[in-house]
Structure 1
Amino acid sequence: MSPGDGNDDDLYGGTGQTRTRLPDGGQGDMYGGAARRPARSSSRSLITVVGVVVLLVAAIAFANRGNSSSDDGDAKKPDTSPTAPTGTKAVTSGFAHDKQGAQSAAANYAVQLGSAEMFNKAQRDRILQEVITPSRVTGFEDTLDKAYSPEFNTNVGLNKDGSSPQGYTFVSRTTPIGTKATGYSASTANVAVWCSGLLGMAGENSKNPVTNSWFTISMKLEWTGGDWKIVTHSQKDGPAPVPGDERASSSDEIANAVEGYGGFTYAR
């Protein structure tokens, strides 16, 4: 089902969403010391219900670039936005009409739909126009407009309009680890994308520290207008590796990393 079909559980993975722990109160820096990664909770579940993977897992803006471009020179100038991808052009269309092209499309669409830009109405609508099959765009827009409400934004630490509070950096990135075509024909493809995600607010006294999660996104794609586009989307937790023993970084370290390292414009 798609948003237009009225089944949000199918679109966003139902209750099998990734989760982010909301600390009890604002007691100092939640990142420092030798703390292990916070346990996941219902906040990440709420966020992924929106789309993000999510679709919430929300931040990478993709501009159109043809599939034929393989010049590394296209991807060397970092964008000024903290959560934007490195590179002046990103791949959002022109994927090959074969099984690998479908997997490439799914991987890159997972990145877009898990981006922080999904929290901005204008940018969210642009992303949906790029990645969703035309007949389903309106349904996705209606569903996500209701999900990304002012109350939702404040619940994840943002201002009501989806902007970050002064002195804080909102982080939402999805990184595909691998893809698998679970079904393929010349007109449709089912693709699973195994992902790792970052979500939270970096800043002193943040109540929503940046945490990581692991999840698998399943997409049904169709070949339309000379490209692969999303028909339906769902998500479930895992597979998740055993957490390492590294020390959790401070909020400043996380914020500096986000501002200093751009995301990827091409995932596969």
Structure 2
Amino acid sequence: MSFGGDDEYGHARSGRQGTRTRLPETESGAARSAPLRPGRNVLMVVGVVMLLIGAIAVATRAGEDDGRGGNSREQAQPTAPTGVKPVGSGADGIPAGFARTEQGAQSAAANYAVALVSAEIIRPSSRGGIIERVFAPDKVDDMRAKMDKAYSPHFLERVGLDPEGNAPKGHTYVSRTVPVGTKIVAFDSKSAELEVWCTGVYGMAGEGSTTPVTTDWFTMKFSLRWVGKDWKVQGFAQEKGPAPVNGDLRASTAKEIAEAVEGFGGFTYAR
């Protein structure tokens, strides 16, 4: 669909690179990695230890006098965050006040991808507010009409939700997007074309669910416009992939997925 494209649930599914994140909330969990041959595993551990020792030595020397009357600690470090303050606070968890720069446009696109492919966009009570905060003013009415049609009561019933977008008792509806990277296609002070490479999880967590939670990889394409003092969406679309080979991981139970979604907070994404 032109407003974002549909997956089977009506969602828009789908990076310059290097996304800096500022985090709020969190319960820890452990990932099971694929088994390695013992010999290879030992070599990897030794290699990592040597790299750490080297890094510590470099960091220690970086704090010493460089012999030219100055301290190299004052020089910019290659891993330090760069640029202007990435983003301000916004309403309903959607950041606002992005910089009028390439990195500001990338931050906006990444955060808008999260908002537009979320469980909140499904709910009629929160959909209108998200649309008003994300889209350019002259696009709000058109997008509201398109999304209301896409997320109709019939659609909600088909994915197991009530007319307000709520999951049945004992179930949790999941739709969470994680930007992997952003890419500038075109940019000037008034408009920007960007792509956001994303992964995510979506479906219904709960015993007996006919639409279990699965992963997805997709790319969202944004047209942004500078409106007032912020970047707003003029239009967006999506395409599938790029998708990596699935890892050798045990699928978690519906209960584990539901607890993870409820226990782990989301992120604000910024360059």
Q: TM-score, normalised by structure 2?
A: 0.70
What amino acid sits opposite 1:133 in the alignment? Answer: A
Determine if the alignment matches structure 1 residue 122 to structure 2 residue 122: no
**Superposition map of 1:183-194 within 5 A:** 183-194=186-197
Are residues 1:136 and 2:136 paired?
A: no
The answer to whether the Cα contact below 8 Å between 2:181 and 2:196 also exists between their aligned partners in 1 is yes
Tell me if 1:11 matches 2:11.
no
- In structure 2, the residue matched to 1:102 is 105
Find the aligned partners of 2:222 and 2:145 in 1 and give their Cα distance. Answer: 19
- 2:264 partner letter: Y
1:175 pairs with 2:175: no
Aligned counterpart in structure 1 of residue 202 of structure 2, from 189, 199, 203: 199
Tell me the equivalent position of 1:209: 212
- Partner in structure 1 of residue 221 of structure 2: 218
Q: Could you say what secondary structure the match of 1:266 adopts?
A: strand
> CA–CA distance in 2 between the matches of 1:252 and 1:121?
26
Give the Cα separation in 2 of the matches to 1:112 and 1:158. Answer: 19
Which structure 1 segments of 5+ residues have no match? 1-8, 18-43, 58-69, 79-87
The equivalent of 2:250 in structure 1 is: 247
Where do 4+ consecutive residues of structure 1 move more than 6 Å?
none
Deviation, structure 1 residue 266: 3.2
Distance 2:137 2:190 in 1: 15
* Partner in structure 2 of residue 162 of structure 1: 165
User: Comparing 234-243 with 254-263, which one deviates more in the overlay?
Assistant: 254-263
AA at the equivalent of 1:45: E
**Kept in 1: contact 2:110–2:270 (CA 8 A):** yes
Q: Which residue of 2 aligns with 1:26?
A: none
The partner residue of 1:257 within 255, 260, 269 is: 260
Larger Rg: 2
User: Structure 1 residue aligned with 2:154, among 151, 155, 170?
Assistant: 151
Distance 2:92 2:8 in 1: 31
Please state whether the residue corresponding to 1:174 is helix, strand or coil.
strand
User: Structure 1 residue 128: deviation in Å?
Assistant: 0.6
Deviation of 1:11 after TM superposition, in Å, equals: 2.2
2:235 to 215, 232, 239: 232
1:45 aligns with 8
Deviations 1:123-180 (A, max 9, x none): 1100011110001000000111111111100111212321111000110000000000
Which deviations, in whole Å up to 9, do the C-alpha atoms of 1:211-267 show, x marking residues without a partner?
000000000000011110000100000000000111111111111111111111335
Aligned residues: CA RMSD: 2.1
